Amino acid sequence: MTRTVLFAIAILAGLAILALAPAFLGEYGLGFMVSLMSYVTLATAWAMFSGPTRYISLATVAFFGIGAYTVAVFNETLPYPFVLIVAISIGALLATFVGFATLRLAGVYFVIFSFGLAELVRQLITWFEVNITGTLGRYIFLPFETRHIYWQLLALAAVTIGIGFWIRQTRLGLALKVIGDDELVAAHSGIALARTKVLLFVLSASLMTLAGAIQSPRWVYIEPAIVFNPTISFLTVIMALLGGATRLWGPALGVIPLMILFEWLSASFPDHFSIFLGAMFILIVFLLPKGVLSAVETRLARLKREANA
């Protein structure tokens, strides 16, 4: 068998093992796996756009929260599949508007705008709930157990990684790489900068929105402060950068150790969790700017050169 076939078999076997996790894990362990699959999706979707273009976005929680709140609003009036379609549509529409309006920004300006977008969405929903509906917070009544949410997120994570792999094999992936290296060169090469960046931004945001929508029944009761928590955006960026935002499997590999670490920190130091989060972000940016995988490859290449010298 070829290497590609063996790789595909290994992936399918891994997915089958992960799908059987609810049979062996308790409620706490399964809840951890739900969070793990959610962040694998978020980090991979984030890296899908931000990895090649090098646009650091802190708007992840804006789309995640939109997905969750859409389910909260429509879960009693629409069938669940239609609710997911509505959530994706709203997330894609917002991403399209934001993309065409702001992707001409770069560097720190885009970072600031993306962070402000998440806060703006949270404040607008809070204002609408308080002043129009007269309430703040909604209940979600869907017949899903934790294992059902886990299976949906596992499927979404697999699809997200699959989409990332497909993009890398197409002209779109090559165009994004050129844009990330030098936008001026990309423009002179005939690449439609705005259209390409907006397309990937919308796709990335849609996957983030769907992750929030699928995970929302786990909370039962949600309000803006819960689903628009900025920690979600920062955790996503840290995980993607740790594993390597330019690598297909990098974000997923970055999620696993950090989820274990953050789970322990949030339980052991709940009042100082944000301090550790900020310190971790700084350390990763300074020590591993291209991710663990890149650092390992660089180290191995250096050892090989020394051995051949």
Between CA 281 and CA 84 the distance in angstroms is 32
Asked if residue 3 is part of any domain, the answer here is no
Asked if residue 22 is part of any domain, the answer here is no
User: Which of helix, strand or coil describes residue 21?
Assistant: helix
Asked if residue 15 is part of any domain, the answer here is no
Give the largest Cα separation in the chain, rounded: 74
Give the highest mean pLDDT range of 246-250, 288-292, 305-309. Answer: 246-250
pLDDT of residue 63: 94
**Whether residue 296 has pLDDT greater than 90:** no
Domain count, the chain: 1
**Whether residue 1 has pLDDT greater than 60:** no
pLDDT of residue 213: 93
Give the highest mean pLDDT range of 102-106, 140-144, 247-251. Answer: 140-144
Between CA 29 and CA 37 the distance in angstroms is 12
**Whether residue 132 has pLDDT greater than 80:** yes
Asked if residue 208 is part of any domain, the answer here is yes
Task: Dump pLDDT digits (tens) for 136-194.
Answer: 788 888 888 888 899 999 999 999 998 988 888 888 777 777 777 767 777 767 777 77
pLDDT of residue 42: 93
CATH of the domain at 301: 1.10.3470
Q: How confident is the model at residue 114 (pLDDT cuts 50, 70, 90)?
A: confident
Compute the mean pLDDT over every residue in the chain, rounded to the nearest whole number: 83
**Whether residue 271 has pLDDT greater than 70:** yes
CA distances from 87 to 54, 207, 223 (A): 27, 10, 16
pLDDT of residue 297: 63
Length of the chain as a residue count: 309
pLDDT of residue 272: 73
Mark residue 277 as left, alpha or beta (left: phi above 0; alpha: psi -120 to 50; beta: remaining). alpha
Full-model pTM? 0.87
**Whether residue 119 has pLDDT greater than 60:** yes
pLDDT of residue 159: 92
Asked if residue 16 is part of any domain, the answer here is no
Asked if residue 65 is part of any domain, the answer here is yes
pLDDT of residue 290: 67
Domain that holds residue 53: 29-308
Give the highest mean pLDDT range of 52-56, 133-137, 219-223. Answer: 219-223
Asked if residue 224 is part of any domain, the answer here is yes
Q: Contact, 88 vs 76, CB < 8 A?
A: no
Q: Contact, 31 vs 148, CB < 8 A?
A: no
Instruction: Kindly provide the residue ranges of all beta strands, DSSP E only, lying in the chain, ordered along the sequence.
Output: 138-139, 221-222
Q: How confident is the model at residue 205 (pLDDT cuts 50, 70, 90)?
A: very high
pLDDT of residue 197: 82
pLDDT of residue 291: 67
Between CA 277 and CA 294 the distance in angstroms is 22
